Amino acid sequence: MKFRKFSILDMRSSNASETEEVEVLFNLDHIISIKPIRISRPDKLLNGFWIRTTNGKKYRASKIPEDLLEVIGEKYQGAITIPIDSDEQPFQ
């Protein structure tokens, strides 16, 4: 078994509008896929990951282990900078 630590966004906190980051150990043998996604939070927009496991559960992760990040690409992790006047710019 190969366990690695992931930071997962927990939606089951007491207030549904707030998400809490929780560190979780996953067995890498039970991960089917890791897909880069954008995660919208009330205060910021993050690059994150959609993790799917063999038991059918899906998790939104804000951080993944460094060895997996090297394979996927470092540009997919972290906060996204959005210009202040982004409402005036055309969507690309």
Percentage of residues of the chain with pLDDT beyond 90: 38
Numbers of helices and strands, H then E, in the chain? 1, 6
Question: Strands 20-27, 31-40: parallel, antiparallel or unpaired by DSSP?
Answer: unpaired
The model carries a pTM of: 0.71
pLDDT digits (tens, 9 = 90+) for 13-30: 555 556 788 999 999 999
CA distances to 41, 47, 51, 85, 90 from 62, in Å: 11, 7, 10, 26, 28
**What is the C-alpha separation between 85 and 17, in angstroms, rounded?**
25
Nearest to 62 by CA among 1, 3, 2, 6: 6
